[in-house]
Chain A
Amino acid sequence: MSLIVELHHRYPGQTVDLAFEAPSPGVTALFGRSGAGKSTTLAVIAGLLRPDACRIAVDGEVLADTAAGVWVAPERRRVGMVFQDARLFPHMSVATNLRFGLRRARVGAIGFDEVVELLGLGGMLARRPQSLSGGERQRVAIGRALLAQPRLLLLDEPLSGLDGARKAEILPYLARLKAMLRLPMIYVSHAPDEVLRLADTLVLMKDGRVVGAGPVAEIAARGDLPFSRRDDAGALLLGQVLGHDEARGLSRIEGGGVTWLVPLLDLRPGTACRVRIPAREVILAGRAPEAISVQNIVAGTVRHIAEEGARHSVLVEVGLPSGSLLARVTPDAVARLGLTEGAAVLVLVKSTALEVLAV
């Protein structure tokens, strides 16, 4: 099944004109600066904004098709929305807030107790929203949206109003949600760490247009797309834990068709995981060095070399057996190694530089 979004809308100063398709269930991240059209897209999908033209379909069900004159009223779309500012009803307890959508929904698969358990809301049901912390409020808002039995869940920068600690508190809940419920979700964010952790599909947006869309690992490692033109750029490999070597204090992880060594993990073999490799941590070499502390030395092929003018650096996309990763080096290094597109190269990554994200 899939999620189809086509939309055209003209504002006085800007035009939003975009289309993307994403697999369902799965998390589709809309990534871009403010003004890129992310919020407009969500508002149209939720039915809160009627654009000049659009076509929205979720799992084969058409929610809007201006060409055919279809416009399902927002209260009948079964599209759940989690806002940046939670928007809990202040005159109701947490439990009443949670039941607001449930009472108005047709009988569905998502149960009250299940959501309370999933989001850890048990201790706060009788409380009022104003007595909750920002992170707790956001968890209640997610639960409330889920209980309305949505066919699609929209999350509009749900973590951007929270500090680092609160974010870290909610991210695991979102990851659990994704694993437990087979529900398509659209996640709007401008934080790469959230996107890399949660998204299956990444849609890059700029000035009301889609500049790149596809599986998250593929888009994150494309040196020619804006997602990699950031200080914290890096590739993402989807893989799994292969095994542990407790004597050496290392774990083996498969990702991109390569086996990587990382510091010992507390994950069972076979567990799916995501590995992020920051571009600035990647070393390129022409020959294998000897007597070096680096644990991971992998052969690859240069796919693309992108100049990063202002930084006086170069972003090199290196193809692996499946997928690719990014290395940020100086133009001088590229010249000394004689790197050109198609050239064979060795990639060196310290095991401590690999960031393993449990899904």
Chain B
Amino acid sequence: MATRGGEMAGLMFEAEDWEAIRLTLVVAARAVGFALPLAVLTAGVLARTRFAGRTVLNTLVHLPLVLPPVVTGWLLLIVFGVRGPLGAWLNDWFGMRLVFTTNGASLACAVMTFPVMVRAIRLSLEAVDPGLEAAALGLGAGWFDRMVNITLPLASPGILVGGIVGYATCLGEFGAVITFAASIPGETRTLPLAIYAALQAPGGEGRAAALALVSLALALAGLLLSEWLGRGLNRVLGR
């Protein structure tokens, strides 16, 4: 079995591998779907407001970028574990358990990619000309109106790129996921975890190589897509 996988790398996937690929895409999609709106909100607060706790918020957002992923995963276990303050609350009220579940893997991915998304979105929000917002104000547009019709459309390239890069980053998230959600086939074993598991198994190099190629293809597709969409949007916005 091992030799067959080695010879036909990239073509001969077992059901378990297809499951890992599908699971990776789902986990990443949920993570981005959950984190992107929060990232827009956070970026908005960091870009547009001045308050005492701003530095603290900024540091907190960027923490996963500098912490070892294993530590981030362990902190998530403490907070969202079944006995953790938020974990217990979610479990009691919604019967929702995050540890060792697909949703848990998404949460770990979301936390890890959050700084990447916030950075991209914040930069694009800061690049929006406040003069255009003042012009909209004079034309009768209130705060929400301006946000929806002027600020967010003008910042959309950054939001989009943040989402896509965030998605691509989720596909490769390892340390925090394996610590918080473990490596359960069909539940939390995403591509990087599957590659790691294949490498651990005797003679699993072929499978690992095949999965690594998929990983590479997905990452490249994500980067090209963000580049292409970003350029298209910028053209629409006249930049």
By a beta-carbon cutoff of 8 Å, the part of chain A in contact with chain B is: 46, 48, 73-76, 78-81, 83, 85, 87, 89-91, 100-101, 104-105, 128-130, 144-145, 148
Contact = CB atoms under 8 A, between A and B. Distances in A.
Given A76-B140, A104-B139, 15 more contacts: A75-B139, A75-B142, A81-B135, A83-B131, A85-B131, A87-B135, A89-B132, A91-B154, A91-B236, A91-B238, A100-B136, A100-B141, A104-B145, A145-B139, A148-B140
Contacts of B142: 73, 75
In terms of DSSP, what is the predominant structure of the interface of chain B?
helix
Given A83-B131, A85-B131, A100-B136, A90 B141 contact: no
B96 interface: no
Given A90-B239, A91-B237, A91-B238, A100 B131 contact: no
A70 to B, nearest CB: 19
B153 interface: yes
10 contacts: A48-B134, A75-B138, A83-B131, A85-B131, A90-B154, A91-B236, A91-B237, A91-B238, A100-B136, A101-B139
A105 B141 CA distance: 10
Contact of A128 (B141, B154, B238): B238
Nearest to A81: B138
B137 interface: yes
Q: How large is the interface on B (under 10, 10 to 19, 20 to 34, 35 or more residues)?
A: 20 to 34
A104 B140 contact: yes
B70 interface: no
B138 A130 contact: no
A77 to B, nearest CB: 8
Contacts of B135: 81, 83, 87, 89
The 6 closest A-B pairs by CB, nearest first: A101-B139, A104-B140, A130-B238, A90-B238, A87-B135, A81-B138
B238 to A, nearest CB: 4
Interface of B: 129, 131-132, 134-142, 145, 150, 153-154, 236-239
B238 A129 contact: yes
Given A91-B153, A128-B238, A105 B140 contact: yes
A231 to B, nearest CB: 33
A90 B138 contact: no
Contacts of A75: 137-142
A101 to B, nearest CB: 4
A67 B152 CA distance: 37
A46 B137 CA distance: 9
Contacts of A83: 131, 135
Contacts of B138: 46, 48, 74-75, 79-81, 145, 148
A144 B238 CA distance: 19
B131 A144 contact: no
Contacts of B154: 90-91
A83 B141 CA distance: 17
A89 B150 contact: yes
Q: By CB atoms of chain B within 10 A, which of A75, A129, A130, A148 has the most?
A: A75
B136 A89 contact: yes
Contacts of A129: 238
A85 B137 CA distance: 16
Contacts of A90: 132, 154, 237-239
A128 B136 CA distance: 17
Contacts of A79: 138
Contacts of B139: 75, 80, 100-101, 104, 144-145, 148
A90 B238 CA distance: 6
Nearest to A149: B140
Nearest to B143: A75
A90 B154 CA distance: 8
A54 B94 CA distance: 55
A48 B140 contact: no
Contacts of A101: 139-140
B132 A87 contact: yes
A132 to B, nearest CB: 11
Contacts of B153: 91
